[in-house]
Amino acid sequence: MSYSSDPADYKEEDLFKVAELHFINRMTHDAIGIRLNIRPRAKVVAMCEAARRSGVVQIAVRPSRTTDSGRLRDLAAQVRERFNLLDCIVVHGRSDMLNSPLPDNIREVIMDDICREAARQLDRRFSELTEPFLAVTYGYVTRKIADYVRPQYGVNRNGNVLAAQGVRMLEVDRFDANNIVRDIARQFGAKYACMPIPALIDTKDINVVSHLPLVNTLLKALETKSNIVVGSLATHHQTEWKQRFDSLQNELMQTEERERYMNALLQMGAVGNIGGWWFDDKGESIEAPERSVVGLGLKRIKQLTKARRPVIIAVGADLTRIPALAVALNPLNPLCNVWIGDEVTARVLLGEYDITASVEWLPVEQDILLTLRS
């Protein structure tokens, strides 16, 4: 008996489950059938094809790693010099992103390259310190970096990996900082510490929550001992994604609360955030109304960048993040000093390329892009 590979014949959530197990977790069709109680094997095969046809799974070919490597190194050196960075690594990009947002499959391929390079950078930086205290934020990118960490310099039993903020939902969440730090620590043979509170705390409760025994211990380590950061950068353009995508507010706020929260931030001039801590076009911290993220914070991040301690941000293949990234890299008030990204983003940052895509930019974002071209 043959089974349909038409996406319309299946529930979307079922296609997501099968696709994730097969294409991400690399499980066999037989194993998926046993896990999800789908019989026979042919039906699982058909569902995988239906997932591909529906767009749940998309395929792209990664550019050759052997071509134009010298050109990319030269470009990275220009960005490093322009923004006074500790380091910069640039991978292949797609100029299509200047005209419209890249399809998910293309962006995924580029981000894979970026995150692999970020994992290598993290490995090197972690191994350079006698007693590293690595702070890690939540996020899709930091999760991918964690997945690609394969230490080349041996384990570091004196190392510590710290969650930069609390949890986002009741269920186990692979994009949660607490989950990510555990996986990174296991790779490095290091110790780790979780933040046992919600990521967003009512402002009126922050003083009490910050003095809870386990929380207070971790906060002190973040404030005084952290010497490496791996963070994620986002903007208001990413806050309207569906629940299956990463967003700090999704499980912690109702829809009306999220809208009120974001509107208040934007009225105060918010351009982007690192780990949930929002900043304006000058790189100054914006205190979120009603609720705040307890943890590492922008103040500590700035202290580390100015002390030339590595604050690593992997951002690329997404034109909507470029204005916020430009602010984060600003050498006059930097929020990071190690950037791993793609060549198209790099050339926009250097003023060589213009973004022609139709994007609902905030006026402040338009001003930032104009500054890059001047």
Kindly report, residue by residue over 187-245, the tens digit of the pLDDT: 999 999 999 999 889 888 999 999 999 999 999 999 999 999 999 999 988 765 444 34
Return the higher-pLDDT residue of 25 and 189.
189
Query: What pLDDT does 169 receive?
Result: 80
Judgement on whether residues 131 and 79 belong to the same structural domain of the protein? yes
In 211-335, alpha helices (H) = 213-224, 255-267, 297-306, 322-329
Report yes or no on 62 lying in a domain. Answer: no
CATH number of domain containing 338: 3.40.50.1360
List, edge to edge, every strand of the sheet that includes 191-193: 87-91, 338-342, 311-314, 228-231, 133-136, 160-163, 191-193
Query: What pLDDT does 189 receive?
Result: 94
Burial class of residue 270 (count of CB atoms within 10 Å of its CB; 0-12, 13-18, 19+)? buried
Judgement on whether residues 73 and 31 belong to the same structural domain of the protein? no
What are the CA-CA distances from residue 269 to residues 46, 235, 253, 362 (Å)?
49, 12, 21, 9
pLDDT band of residue 253 (cuts 50, 70, 90) is low
Residues 6+ apart with CB under 8 A from 119: 145, 146, 148, 149, 150
pLDDT at 8 over 90: no
Judgement on whether residues 21 and 86 belong to the same structural domain of the protein? no
pLDDT at 42 over 50: yes
Write down the mean pLDDT value for the chain.
Answer: 89
Query: What pLDDT does 170 receive?
Result: 79
Average pLDDT over residues 248-273: 79
For residues 164 and 335, give the distance between their C-alpha atoms in angstroms, rounded to a whole number. Answer: 15
Judgement on whether residues 182 and 44 belong to the same structural domain of the protein? no
Kindly report, residue by residue over 114-128, the tens digit of the pLDDT: 999 999 999 999 999
pLDDT at 258 over 80: no
Report yes or no on 61 lying in a domain. Answer: no
Return the higher-pLDDT residue of 68 and 353.
353
CA gyration radius for the chain? 21
Kindly report, residue by residue over 52-102, the tens digit of the pLDDT: 887 777 665 555 545 567 889 999 999 999 999 999 999 999 999 999 989
pLDDT at 35 over 70: yes
Judgement on whether residues 163 and 278 belong to the same structural domain of the protein? yes
Total of domains in the chain: 2
In the DSSP assignment, the letter for residue 236 is G
**Its pTM surpasses 0.95:** no
Judgement on whether residues 275 and 361 belong to the same structural domain of the protein? yes
Average pLDDT over residues 300-323: 96
Structural domain including 20 reads 7-54
Judgement on whether residues 194 and 221 belong to the same structural domain of the protein? yes
Beta carbons of 312 and 335 less than 8 angstroms apart: no
Judgement on whether residues 22 and 144 belong to the same structural domain of the protein? no
pLDDT band of residue 307 (cuts 50, 70, 90) is very high
Report yes or no on 331 lying in a domain. Answer: yes
Judgement on whether residues 149 and 288 belong to the same structural domain of the protein? yes
Report yes or no on 309 lying in a domain. Answer: yes
Residues 6+ apart with CB under 8 A from 243: 250
Judgement on whether residues 49 and 193 belong to the same structural domain of the protein? no
Judgement on whether residues 145 and 193 belong to the same structural domain of the protein? yes
Judgement on whether residues 229 and 90 belong to the same structural domain of the protein? yes
Return the higher-pLDDT residue of 284 and 170.
284
Report yes or no on 63 lying in a domain. Answer: no
Return the higher-pLDDT residue of 216 and 263.
216
* Ramachandran quadrant class, 37 (left: phi over 0; alpha: psi -120 to 50; beta: rest): left
pLDDT at 252 over 60: yes
Query: What pLDDT does 240 receive?
Result: 55
Residues 6+ apart with CB under 8 A from 114: 91, 141, 314, 315, 316, 317, 340, 341, 342
Report yes or no on 1 lying in a domain. Answer: no
Burial class of residue 201 (count of CB atoms within 10 Å of its CB; 0-12, 13-18, 19+)? buried
pLDDT-above-70 percentage for the chain:
92
pLDDT band of residue 156 (cuts 50, 70, 90) is confident
Highest mean pLDDT among 18-32, 151-165, 331-345: 331-345
Lowest mean pLDDT segment, chosen from 216-230, 248-262, 351-365: 248-262
Token match 């690609």: residue? 148
Report yes or no on 295 lying in a domain. Answer: yes
Report yes or no on 180 lying in a domain. Answer: yes
